[in-house]
Structure 1
Amino acid sequence: MVPPILSLALPSETGRVLSIQSHTVQGYVGNKSAVFPLQLLGYDVDPINSVQFSNHTGYPTFKGQVLNGQQLCDLIEGLEANNLLYYTHLLTVCDPVMGDDGKLYVPSELVSVYREKVVPVASMLTPNQFEAEQLTGFRIGSERDGQEACNILHAAGPSKVVITSINIEGNLLLIGSHQKEKDQSPEQFKIVIPKIPAYFTGTGDLTTALLLGWSNKYPDNLDKAAELAVSSLQALLQRTMNDYRSAGHDPQSSSLEIRLIQSQDDIRNPQVKLRAEKYK
């Protein structure tokens, strides 16, 4: 008689993450960008690939398959039937990602689904500026606007909100907000991030994974978790830039595939050079 698989699946000390995102055979976006960093930080990660494509959609062409709703349900039911559906965290970027740079990547009617169904059940949200504006209906044109957008999202449910990239007057900011009690004002902070003159793929997925990993290790210090996540990301992006330049490529000529594997040490042990500044 085969022993039950459940006996082999013991909870990890750090956490078990179910990550539902896209997958590409080549390159690092979606689960390819998120699973490995979380494993480096000590998490067991089980990926469900919402799509499986040859490469990301920024290339001239791509081939592959899309997971439909029934196939997703089948996978969940299989886990549940074997008592394997015990996760400390669910990581998803509502694949496909809503949008960026003023452009929606999904049908506009999906925005209301995200706003009404997904946001209220999330414990942490990590939208970019455009996504935060879509979810709140509030234009972000200043730091104060970024703080207010966080407040609006808190009111919808999540206790932690990190708007990962806000372009304000030539500066790139991360604005984070942690509402520890519903009847209290949130603790808010910003990190000023140096701009790197290039376009990278998979950075949003990586940032979200790093924020999950570090915020779980420092549950009461979202600012410290953000410092560690941003520091890892900046080191990785700089390595990617240097790698392309050393190979004789112009980093600004096309989107760059991030050097994830080569940046393992920066993910495990980031050197914090960018500090959070708390708002009063």
Structure 2
Amino acid sequence: MNILSIQSHVAFGHVGNRSAVFPLERLGYEVWPVNTVQFSCHAGMPGWTGSVFGADHVSDVVRGLGRLGIMPSCDAVLSGYMGDVETGAAIMAAVDAVKKANPEAVYCCDPVMGDLPGGVYVQDGLPEFITAQAVPRADIVCPNCFEAGLLGRSPTRGIESAIDTPAGAARVADAIHELGPRIVMITSYRPAGEESIGFFVSDLSVRRVVTAPMLPFGKPPKGSGDLASALFLGYYLTSRDVVLAMEATTDALYSVLEATLASGHDELAIIAAQDCIASPARRFRSEPA
């Protein structure tokens, strides 16, 4: 199977396509990466350098792929950080081109807009664009709790508390389903009163939640959301089962985070834990939500 992945790229660390491409390849997929930026490292690190490629670059690379005549063999599109509305529009054109060539292709959208406690961290206008253009095109959407609250129109001050119970997550997921996606997987789901974190998934007929113990990071490593979206898409394309895909994502991601913690470094230990991605241990089981 072939996956077109349009995201940011860094030389050092694992965020964006650096969190997505190798894990998907380890699962047996051919990945066609299109990079929206090329940075030395993620922009939260001091002294980072690099360039934003912009909409023309994305359009040009995707146009070249189209000239190869390979679009009908593209089974999925994965998008992450878009950067700005213009680049977002170029990504939507790519999604449309793939869907036209292969109507069965799956679009998985990681609607990168912000997170708690900082809130929105993307350019003005991008959250509205993602809500109006990207999410309605998506078959799968993988927001974190903050982004789910934005998409589900929860009051800003109550976003976290609105999604800290299965019932609350289900209400927000229903609102997101109304925008178009058949599958909603909310990442960084944290049940009230528990030292755990996990995922909530809904495909209208099934609602499940899975949690795992919090690991004692001083600060969470960057790129775990990018990795989660890629893993979920990869496991889903193989199984076509949202529950199995969510559980496998939890198992694999937790193993990567354990390896990261053991390494003593801030960057995701994807290479060290690659075997756990290819064959995730069956440790965490979901429950009805």
- Give the shorter-chain TM-score range: 0.7 to 0.9
Partner of 2:246: 226
Matches within 5 A, 1:156-167: 156-167=179-190
Range that drifts further, 87-96 or 117-126: 87-96
Give the secondary-structure state (helix, strand or coil) at the position aligned to 1:271. Answer: coil
Partner of 2:82: 95
**Aligned partners of 1:34 and 1:205 also within 8 Å:** yes
Partner of 1:182: none
Matches within 5 A, 1:48-59: 48-59=34-45
Give the secondary-structure state (helix, strand or coil) at the position aligned to 1:200. Answer: coil
Work out which of the two has the higher radius of gyration on C-alpha atoms and give 1 or 2.
Answer: 1
Give the secondary-structure state (helix, strand or coil) at the position aligned to 2:51. Answer: strand
TM-score, normalisation: structure 1: 0.85
Deviation (angstroms), 1:65 = 0.8
**Aligned partners of 2:35 and 2:58 also within 8 Å:** no
Distance across 2 between alignment mates of 1:95 and 1:194: 31
What is the percentage of aligned positions where both structures have the same residue? 33
Distance across 2 between alignment mates of 1:41 and 1:218: 12
Report the CA distance shift for 1:178/1:230 in structure 2 as closer, same or farther (over 3 A).
Answer: same
Matches within 5 A, 1:106-121: 106-121=122-137
Partner of 2:224: 203
Number of aligned positions between the proteins: 248
Partner of 1:76: 62
Distance across 1 between alignment mates of 2:140 and 2:64: 27
Deviation (angstroms), 1:173 = 3.5
**Aligned partners of 1:174 and 1:193 also within 8 Å:** no
Unaligned runs of 5+ in 2: 84-111
**Aligned partners of 1:126 and 1:208 also within 8 Å:** yes
TM-score, normalisation: structure 2: 0.82
CA RMSD of aligned residues (A): 1.4
Structure 2 residue 203 is matched with structure 1 residue 178: yes
| Paired letter, 2:28 | G
Give the secondary-structure state (helix, strand or coil) at the position aligned to 1:106. Answer: coil
Partner of 2:149: 133
Partner of 2:90: none
Range that drifts further, 226-235 or 165-174: 165-174
Distance across 2 between alignment mates of 1:82 and 1:218: 29
Distance across 2 between alignment mates of 1:216 and 1:93: 18
Distance across 2 between alignment mates of 1:270 and 1:79: 33
Give the secondary-structure state (helix, strand or coil) at the position aligned to 1:165. Answer: strand
Partner of 1:237: 257
**Aligned partners of 2:151 and 2:175 also within 8 Å:** no
**Aligned partners of 2:4 and 2:77 also within 8 Å:** yes
**Aligned partners of 1:231 and 1:274 also within 8 Å:** yes
